[in-house]
Structure 1
Amino acid sequence: MIRKNALTATAAAAVLAFGLSACGGMEGDTEAETPAAGGAEESPATEENEGSGGMQEAGENFGPGCADVPADGDGSFEGMAQDPVATAASNNPLLSTLVTAVSEADLVDTLNSAEDITVFAPSNDAFEKIPQEDLDALLADQEQLTEVLTYHVVEGRHAPADLEEGTFTSLQGGDVTTAGSGEDYTVDDDSAVVCGNVQTSNATVYIVDTVLMPS
Structure 2
Amino acid sequence: MSVHHLRRTAVAVVAGLALPVSLGLLAPMAHAGDMTEPFGPACSTVPKDGAGSFSGMADDPVATAASNNPALSTLVSAVKKAGLVDTLNNAKDITVFAPTNDAFAKIPKADLDKVLNDKAQLTKILTYHVVGEKLAPDQLTKGSFKTMEGSNLTTSGSGESYKVNDSAKVVCGNVKTSNATVYIIDSVLMPTM
Give the TM bin, normalised by the shorter chain: 0.7 to 0.9
**One of 101, 119, 134 as aligned partner of 1:124:** 101
- The percent of aligned pairs where both chains have the same amino acid is 65
Aligned positions of 1:1-215 closer than 5 A: 59-215=36-192
In structure 2, distance between residues paired with 1:144 and 1:201: 28
Q: Secondary structure at the match of 1:137?
A: helix
Aligned-residue RMSD, C-alpha? 1.2
TM-score normalized by the length of structure 1 = 0.73
Q: Separation in 2 of the partners of 1:126 and 1:67?
A: 18
Number of equivalent positions: 160
Taking structure 2 as the reference length, the TM-score comes to 0.81
Mapped partners of 2:155, 2:89: distance in 1: 24
What's the secondary structure of 2:74's corresponding residue? helix
Structure 1: gaps (5+ residues): 1-44, 46-56
Q: Secondary structure in 1 aligned to 2:122?
A: helix
Q: How far is 1:71 from its partner?
A: 1.2
> What runs of 5+ residues in structure 2 fail to find an aligned partner?
1-31
DSSP 3-state at the match of 1:60: coil
Larger Rg: 2
Q: Deviations over 1:61-89 (max 9, x none)?
A: 11111011111110010100000000000
1:60: how far off?
1.2
2:93–2:179 contact (8 Å) kept in structure 1: yes
Counterpart of 2:37 in 1: which secondary structure?
A: coil
Q: 1 or 2, which has the higher helix percentage?
A: 2
Aligned-pair distance for 1:128? 0.5
Runs of 4+ in 1 over 2 A off after TM superposition: none
SS at 2:42 equivalent: helix
CA–CA distance in 2 between the matches of 1:97 and 1:69?
16
By how many angstroms is 1:58 displaced?
5.2
- Residue 64 of structure 2 aligns to which amino acid in structure 1? T
